[in-house]
């Protein structure tokens, strides 16, 4: 029995209401989505899903290749009568963001996603759903397996590690694809046609610090900031959602002087591309000021909750007594660190002066970990203008270098320059108007799509990105709209029917 079949059989029993999801229309797409979600596939740990995709292609008797970085390429001939059409590459990424609620017991490396249907939406139980970009992968799988859907010659490109480095796209060599058109199925609004995107770069801040023994007459508290929306650090950055790391740091900044506060530990956020929803800290204060400290936290919480009542109505901020630790940060290093985090830019840096409503440059303060003498801070800086991306990187570097931290910038990838006059943009815009009697939003986005990277080795390839409605991507609130998947699938099939003939 192939690994493709074994994975499905082994994990299918773990999926809540899998049968209900598989019975949704179009069944071919939802069935493959359920199969895919039965396979663990966190970024950087995609061995199982690579094998899954490889065995899927081979089980269909189609030419299947795994390249040197782990991308899977499956090629399918045109259906009868469409052999003279231009070859189309269908592209999606195999990995998914692995985020869960703090109270959810789940192992992304061993378990399949637990899905359920809620009205017109499919959701996951306390974790990310993987609709980003699993719905695109599922749609491509359905086309590869189909026997009655008209289509031109197809090249399915399943990339790896899109979410944490885009190493699959960066590693794809020229000459692997013959397609003249690429349909990237990784957009999250079904009325949008994306034709450009931001580039990005990872910033890592590392520092050591001195610790000291806890002073006599001290008591400890655990501060919790949670209940924020979180979301995609590119697509949702303009929504003004609260950042748990910044909120926690604000509380510490406003508390340390008056209560002799010392930090034992801070643990906030997670992945670079997810707006942090939760942060936890353990702090020590003078026992004689415990009551005033509790009242201070309540007052701070009320102010912050009022500020976020529209964007994050479920935010919670509480401080509860906890076991007294033995060691805390020394005051000087602690105060310098808290001040540097306070000054670190988070959110929109500049809006595009050329494209209305487009975020041009931003930073996500994604992860803050302070523990046992070590500080680790992770950011993701995005921009559609490389020089401005570098400017913001230097801004952050200057801030943290002032406290003796080591700053590393890595994983830089280019943006995708829009080509609004390309033939595929015209074709799909006209088709959208015809089918849905409305105007599509032809736009660039602030997310990091793979098209810009892929285009470096395939500069003549026409590219466009679209997909179904997905909300809350990169957070445990992620969901995909059932009716929108039907719309997306129908639109994809009609697009393939209209692909032009090869030039004579």
Catalytic residues: 95, 162
Q: Are 168 and 192 in contact (CB under 8 A)?
A: no
Dist. CA 170–CA 453, nearest whole Å: 6
468-474-477 Cα angle (round to 5): 80
User: In a 10 Å sphere around its CB, with 0-12 CB exposed, 13-18 middle and 19+ buried, how is residue 204 labelled?
Assistant: middle
Instruction: Tell me which H or E stretch contains 385.
Output: none
Dist. CA 191–CA 436, nearest whole Å: 9
- Residue linked to tokens 């080591």: 406
In 3D space, the residue among 478, 163, 202, 129 whose CA is nearest the CA of residue 366 turns out to be 202
Residue 372 CA, chain-centre distance (Å), reads: 29
Q: What is the Rg, in whole angstroms, of the alpha carbon atoms belonging to the chain?
A: 24
Q: Which two tokens stand for residue 245?
A: 């790391």
Q: Which two tokens stand for residue 290?
A: 């415990």
Residue 249's CB: how many other CB atoms inside 10 A? 27
Dist. CA 41–CA 95, nearest whole Å: 5
SS3 460: coil
State in Å, rounded, how far the first CA of the chain is from the last one.
46
CA dist 211 to 222, 329, 477, Å? 19, 5, 38
Number of residues in the chain: 504
């Amino acid at each position: 029995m192939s690994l493709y079949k074994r994975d499905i059989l082994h994990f299918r029993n773990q999926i809540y209401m899998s049968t209900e999801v598989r019975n949704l229309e179009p069944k071919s797409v939802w069935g493959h989505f359920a199969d895919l979600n039965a396979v663990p596939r966190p970024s950087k740990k995609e061995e199982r899903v690579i094998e899954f995709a490889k065995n899927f292609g081979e089980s269909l008797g189609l030419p299947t290749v795994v390249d040197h970085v782990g991308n899977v390429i499956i090629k399918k001939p045109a259906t009868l009568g469409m052999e003279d059409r231009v070859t189309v590459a269908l592209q999606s990424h195999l990995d998914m963001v692995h985020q869960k609620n703090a109270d959810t017991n789940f192992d992304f490396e061993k378990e399949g996603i637990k899905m359920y249907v809620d009205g017109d939406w499919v959701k996951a139980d306390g974790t990310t759903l993987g609709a980003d970009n699993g719905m695109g992968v599922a749609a491509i799988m359905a086309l590869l397996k189909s026997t009655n859907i008209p289509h031109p010659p197809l090249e399915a490109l399943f990339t790896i590690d899109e979410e944490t480095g885009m190493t699959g796209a960066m590693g794809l060599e020229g000459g692997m694809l013959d397609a003249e058109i690429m349909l990237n199925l990784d957009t999250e609004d079904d009325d949008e046609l994306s034709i450009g995107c931001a580039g990005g770069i990872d910033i890592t801040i590392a520092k050591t610090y001195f610790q000291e023994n806890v002073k006599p007459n001290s008591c400890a508290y655990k501060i919790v900031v949670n209940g924020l929306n979180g979301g995609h650090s590119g697509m949702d950055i303009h929504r003004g959602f609260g950042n748990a790391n910044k909120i926690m740091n604000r509380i510490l900044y406003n508390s340390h002087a008056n209560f002799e506060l010392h930090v034992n530990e801070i643990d906030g956020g997670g992945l670079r591309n997810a707006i942090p929803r939760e942060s936890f800290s353990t702090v020590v204060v003078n026992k004689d000021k415990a009551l005033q400290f509790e009242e201070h936290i309540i007052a701070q919480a009320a102010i912050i909750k009022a500020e976020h009542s529209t964007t994050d109505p479920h935010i919670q901020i509480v401080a509860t007594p906890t076991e007294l630790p033995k060691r805390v940060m020394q005051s000087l290093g602690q105060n310098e660190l808290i001040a540097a985090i306070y000054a670190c830019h988070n959110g929109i840096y500049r809006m595009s002066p050329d494209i209305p409503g487009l975020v041009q440059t931003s930073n996500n303060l994604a992860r803050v970990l302070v523990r046992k003498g070590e500080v680790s801070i992770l950011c993701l800086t995005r921009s559609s203008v490389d020089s401005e991306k570098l400017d913001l990187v230097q801004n952050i570097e200057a801030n943290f270098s002032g406290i003796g931290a080591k700053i590393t910038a890595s994983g830089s990838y280019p943006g995708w320059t829009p080509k609004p006059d390309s033939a595929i943009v015209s074709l799909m815009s006209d088709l959208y108007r015809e089918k849905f009697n409305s105007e599509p939003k032809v736009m660039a986005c602030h997310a990091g799509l793979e098209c810009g990277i892929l285009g470096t080795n395939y500069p003549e390839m026409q590219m466009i990105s679209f997909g179904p409605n997905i909300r809350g991507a990169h957070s445990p609130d992620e969901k995909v709209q059932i009716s929108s998947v039907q719309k997306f699938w129908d639109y994809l099939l009609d697009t393939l029917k209209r692909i032009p003939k090869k030039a004579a």
